[in-house]
Chains A and B, each alone.
Chain A
């Protein structure tokens, strides 16, 4: 074995540099800790490396094969996971709504699902801090949720064709809409550690990476901040093992870089590899699982999309994809399900649109060519809704090995009764909105988005993997910070909450350890 010549341990190793890893990395470095981030993906230079082309940008996706099982198998790759310094934020669409206080109290309100171990007040100041740092563009006041203490730092982004159609349809049905909050700059913005970041030029390519740094992915926000405070980042470093010392603490992290095995000694580990790789790494190493809950409680947001063709030209690749939002469906009246969902307008790139259509409708031959010719006239609307944890939804290690020689994860997912009812409710409503907006050839793309909950946070060590501070119940120097610790799925896109939680986890750690 080749050992990295690092006789003295660093204070902390952060594994993964996405939404859960990057903010915490910056916070720990700013507190004066010696921190090293290990990231499986590459360190990109978007201005030079990123093409405005869906196929070329596949390099941003995590493509080690995963096995999708259950009645509603989850697609991965381009649909669910990224890699690179910045993680999945490199290709997220940058929707950044806040959760509402009742999202954290689903069990109290409905008697199903889970409550978070603490309330909205624990997140609020972190939401604000993250929004200010990223330069979130959004309306103030924002029509839903508790009154904001501070306005969004920038006004909303311009509204594209899909957004205008959603406004039109919703207005006729009496549904309130608003410009959405997006982590993309509606004006030039000063960023500590970076300088001025460029305003969004409406290229609509957020899901394939932003070439101009307008979108607040971690590589243009928290990562440069972390570097400025002295953090070290080792890209293309794939972690395979966490080594325990006799006292039961993790003493070393083993990773492969350029085909060589290296090892980093450390005092603390922050595992931020995302809701699939985090539990996979723990299961591979048989760690932190005295509860048997690692990989369990897997949730995925109901994310039904409704598409239609319009007489007007939409050219759906232009503008921030998620321009318009409505949270009027947060707690729909007379709903036959627990929780709720939000509505968003969606832009789309052509290859994504057409491959989704072939999967959903099975269209081929001249029919497909005809549908493709309508691309410039299509617009979509989608939901993002809460998902309940269920025993039949989980992640396990399969017997099949991937190209690295490690067992592929197998992910079981089937929508439960609650998700089915919510989706049916949304299907009716969105079709009505699209009809009112003038859509023809309306079709539905059923989907579930975002993997959540596989290392649950909670009070009880027999039912949760980490405590309310994100610390492993079993291994005191191991923390988890990513989409896997969410006790419930929330009825909003997750990234902003992951980042806020990441800062909270860092602060709880620093407080508990009196800055070490």
Chain B
């Protein structure tokens, strides 16, 4: 995908006094977190999850990869919840483990190979089958496939777009709010807001 917004805007703003200390701390931590060995998942599961997340939200070639799967792993390891769960779903830990096994099972049943061995196109077909609750396999008798997909996609989106590098991608600079915003109407831009290339 072509670059829509210039690279480096958020990182440059983070170094200025247009960002508060608390904001800078939060974003810096995210920028500097290195990929960790799994704490909750097995190595196999984490690799599988990473492959899936990269299909759901393709990484940009203009910055290093954002560790979405690692974000999910670390949340589950800390036993953190987002405050609610669909009543017809198992606890988050079981949901992820069952769901990952289910995706591999569906890959086997549909294309005769584990998910990670498949081509991008076949991987996408497996994921679409899960999303539409049409994926084959025993796992999905214990877990609602469409809801698992919704949870996985929403959480992946959350980890990806919370990252300063992803925010650069979409031209978001709302974190640079120390001076406030005066030009807030339609088509009004302040100098520190990046413009989209035509």
Using CB atoms and an 8 Å cutoff, list the residues of chain A in contact with chain B. 48-56, 61-69, 73-78, 80-81, 158-161, 164-165, 201-205, 211, 310, 312-315, 317-319, 349-351, 354-355, 358-359, 362, 364-366, 368-370, 372-373, 375-376, 403, 410
Contact = CB atoms under 8 A, between A and B. Distances in A.
6 contacts: A52-B20, A68-B84, A69-B86, A73-B86, A202-B182, A365-B124
Given A312-B186, A351-B162, A362-B149, A204 B174 contact: yes
B57 A203 contact: no
Given A160-B185, A373-B4, A68 B154 contact: no
B157 A358 contact: yes
Interface string B98-134: 0000000000000000000000000010010001000
B159 to A, nearest CB: 8
A317 B169 contact: no
A164 B154 CA distance: 30
A53 to B, nearest CB: 5
A369 B58 contact: yes
Given A65-B84, A81-B83, A372-B166, 9 more contacts: A48-B22, A52-B175, A53-B26, A205-B174, A312-B186, A317-B174, A350-B167, A373-B196, A376-B172
B191 to A, nearest CB: 13
Interface residues of B, number: 57
Nearest to A376: B171
A61 B83 contact: yes
Given A56-B26, A65-B83, A372-B169, A205 B150 contact: no
Contacts, number: 185
A62 B58 CA distance: 32
A507 B81 CA distance: 39
A65 B175 contact: no
B76 to A, nearest CB: 13
Contact of B161 (A49, A64, A65, A372): A372
Contacts of B171: 373, 375-376
B184 interface: yes
Contacts of A50: 22
A364 B57 contact: yes
B164 to A, nearest CB: 9
